[in-house]
Structure 1
Amino acid sequence: MLIVALTISDRASRGEYEDQSGAMIETWLAETITSSYALSRVIIPDGVGSVRNTLTELCDNVRADLILTTGGTGPAPRDETPEAMQAVMQKELPGFGELMRRISLEQAPTAILSRQTAGVRGKSLIVNLPGR
């Protein structure tokens, strides 16, 4: 199984700060997944084009089984991960976002502003996690 942790951040992609979200995903996977898997960590800038093109490549050519994105789900102008997801996914799975927001609200009142979702393209499951 191939899993990709895709960090979406202008600043992290420019090397202005260390990608902590991708590292947290890697740690969580190591503690949670019991079957064999390969993990690839990728960092790209925000924006519909970069996210759409990367997700399409990971699904159609790399054939990742699971893509966990982090970042780009807030209300800021450059947060366009959900818009890119709409262009990429063939089937939306809205329950993922609903559950993540509900759980996140227990820790941060601003979680209601997050726009996480999940969907399927081909055989790839894509889940948009919050950036923090």
Structure 2
Amino acid sequence: MDKIKIGVLTCSDRAAANIYEDISGQEIIKFFEEVLQNPWEPIYVVIPDEKLEIVSALTSMAEVHQCALIVTTGGTGPATRDVTPEATEEVCDKLLPGFGELMRQVSLQYVPTAILSRQTAGIYKQSLIVNLPGKPSAIRQCLEAVFPAIPYCLDLIGGPYMDCDENKMKVFRPK
């Protein structure tokens, strides 16, 4: 069985400059290590908050590395340098606004500033791209909320069959 490739893209000026460790990207990898039963391989990249670099990384992960799923972290707030959603929207063929809606709804249970978050998701060729926030605890909360729909979404776009440990993450596929 081929390994499923999952892109993990951290968009952070400070992490890219090694000013601090990229805990957010590591949290995403840890989540997939816990829930996936398939063999998988992370394609892990840390880049600055630059729209052209984000677009380039997303297209490379999809086209060159053949990532079925690409998960970004960072750059989803209202600050001037936060451009991850714009880069994602530029790349995607179809947007899936329900992902961002659900992530904001879940995050609002923890912080009132979740309404400032601009996470989104979409399809580029045969890759699902999901923008997550940059805070590690918010990453876990958001992934736990949206992940149950991800394996079925991959099925629908012709991606690999993603199998999960049902004791850790129940996914939804219609019967």
Question: By the TM > 0.5 criterion, same fold?
Answer: yes
Question: Percent identity of the aligned residues?
Answer: 52
Partner residue, 1:77: 80
Of Structure 1 and Structure 2, the greater strand share is in 1
1:65 alignment partner AA? A
Query: Is residue 114 of structure 2 the alignment partner of residue 111 of structure 1?
Result: yes
Secondary structure (helix, strand or coil) at the match of 1:63 reads coil
1:121 alignment partner AA? Y
1:48 alignment partner AA? K
Query: Is residue 132 of structure 2 the alignment partner of residue 129 of structure 1?
Result: yes
For the aligned residue pairs, the C-alpha RMSD in angstroms reads 0.8
Q: Give the deviation of 1:40 after TM superposition.
A: 2.1
Return the TM-score normalized by structure 2.
0.74
Q: Give the deviation of 1:3 after TM superposition.
A: 0.5
Partner residue, 1:36: 39
Distance 1:20 1:59 in 2: 23
Higher relative CO (Cα under 8 Å, sequence separation at least 6) belongs to 1
2:41 alignment partner AA? A
1:78-102 CA-to-partner distances (Å, cap 9, x unmatched) read: 0001111111000101100000000
Secondary structure (helix, strand or coil) at the match of 1:115 reads coil
2:117 alignment partner AA? S
Distance 2:33 2:89 in 1: 29
Distance 1:39 1:71 in 2: 18
Partner residue, 1:47: 50
Structure 2 unpaired stretches of 5+? 136-175
Partner residue, 2:14: 11
Query: Is residue 93 of structure 2 the alignment partner of residue 90 of structure 1?
Result: yes
Distance 1:86 1:35 in 2: 29
Partner residue, 1:101: 104
Query: Is residue 60 of structure 2 the alignment partner of residue 63 of structure 1?
Result: no
Q: Give the deviation of 1:4 after TM superposition.
A: 1.3
1:55-92 CA-to-partner distances (Å, cap 9, x unmatched) read: 11111222111100000000000000111111100010
Distance 1:75 1:39 in 2: 28
Secondary structure (helix, strand or coil) at the match of 1:125 reads strand
Q: How many residues align?
A: 132
